[in-house]
Amino acid sequence: MNAVMIVPTGIGCEIGGHAGDATPAARLLAKCVDRLIVHPNVVNASDICELTPNMRYVEGSMLDRFLWDDFGLREVMSNRILVAVNKPVKPETVNAVSASRSTLGASIKIIELDTKLMMTGMINEDGTAGGTYSGVPELIGQIKDYDREGDKFDALAISSLIRVPRDVAKQYWHDPKGGVNPWGKIEAVVSRRIAELIQKPVAHAPIQPLEVKDECNAGEWDFVCDPRKAPEIISECFLHCVLKGLHRAPRIHWNHQPGNPLRVQDIDVMISPMCWGTPHEACTRHNIPIIFVRENQTVETKKMKMRSGMCIVKNYIEAAGLLMAMQSGVITSSVQRPIPPTEII
């Protein structure tokens, strides 16, 4: 049984909208299926990444295109990872790469960008996250020049600063209700853009909030935060989650290529917060059931399009039970009371 779990970035998901805080839910769901396809926002937690062996780490735009049947996903034993950073590369970045090489056994090299990748995060008037960026065409040109002589890398990690106004950052860190992460959406937008252009797995790690910390007054940074944000508070480089995810991330398998990749026809169900977007449209097109989790509310205002094959459950524990029922071939009405009468047609 193969399932997809999504937690969109920048819409204030109650679970998974902060720093890898959907990971426990993902680990629970992964126990119920043979494969669980996730995108980086589900499990990325700065220097922490608790992927299970049966999770498949797929960048957001690649996941959308996979669900639209543009290509399949080829599982691999490992990828050669290229880490793109702005000059000059920082010691903590080198140390993070070295740590992943010496613990994961991953193949990783660093490339310093000739033109800086600039990113700014913000909160839009509707409460969702957004931002601006520059330097993507130059980044694409440089890494393609590096790769031109042959396939020198299989996956791209990007480590760069995302600037956010100090008052916006401070409000997020101290928001008692969680708030909308102002960094997440723009890094997802940039990752998607780059992945579409290079046709390889991509993930971004923001150099943040250490840059902000240096500008804070004494004592301003020393506080106990919402547990969902803690991975970012305790992290130094924020890069390890990306390197661990990309280490064995599936690659694109084009339809004309020989082989037996994972295809959209192999997906049995998708689990989603209370939102609507491209993945939902794709699942509707391919008659893939969707389980919506009521507890995982968002600030998104798009109207959900409930159709046959879709259902709403209270929480991820209930979603796990539903997956187990599907896996067992048991319809849910048979384990609930009262049991409906047998239909005679």
Q: Which of the residue ranges 24-38, 114-128, 284-298, 301-315 would you say has the lowest mean pLDDT? A: 301-315
DSSP reduced 3-state for 4: strand
- Residue 218 pLDDT > 50: no
Tokens representing 209 are 């909030």
**Which pLDDT does position 214 carry in this prediction?**
52
Beta carbons of 214 and 24 less than 8 angstroms apart:
no
Give the pTM.
0.93
Q: Over the chain, what is the mean pLDDT?
A: 93
Residue range 30-59: average pLDDT?
97
Band (307; pLDDT cuts 50, 70, 90): confident
| Calpha distance 99→289 (Å, rounded) | 40
Cβ contacts of 120 within 8 Å, gap of 6 or more = 131, 132, 133, 162, 163, 164, 186
For range 11-29, the mean pLDDT: 96
Are 296 and 267 in contact by the 8 Å Cβ rule? The answer is no
The sign of the CA dihedral 221, 41, 280, 318 is: negative
pLDDT over 60 at 212, yes or no: no
The whole-angstrom separation of Cα 135 and Cα 137 is 6
Domain limits, the chain: 2-254
Alpha carbon of 98 to those of 202, 211, 236, 314, 321: distances in Å?
19, 22, 14, 43, 41
Phi, psi values for residue 268, rounded to 5°: -95, -25
Asked whether residue 342 carries a pLDDT value surpassing 90, the answer given is yes
pLDDT at 209 exceeding the cut of 60: no
More confident residue, 177 or 289: 289
The per-residue pLDDT for range 108-146, each reduced to its tens digit, is: 999 999 999 999 999 999 999 999 999 999 999 999 999
Q: What is the DSSP string of 12-55?
A: --TTTSSSSTTHHHHHHHHTTSSEEEE-HHHH-BTTB----TTE
**Cβ–Cβ under 8 Å, residues 168 and 124:** no
pLDDT single digits (tens) 145-189:
998 877 799 999 999 999 998 889 888 988 888 899 999 999 999
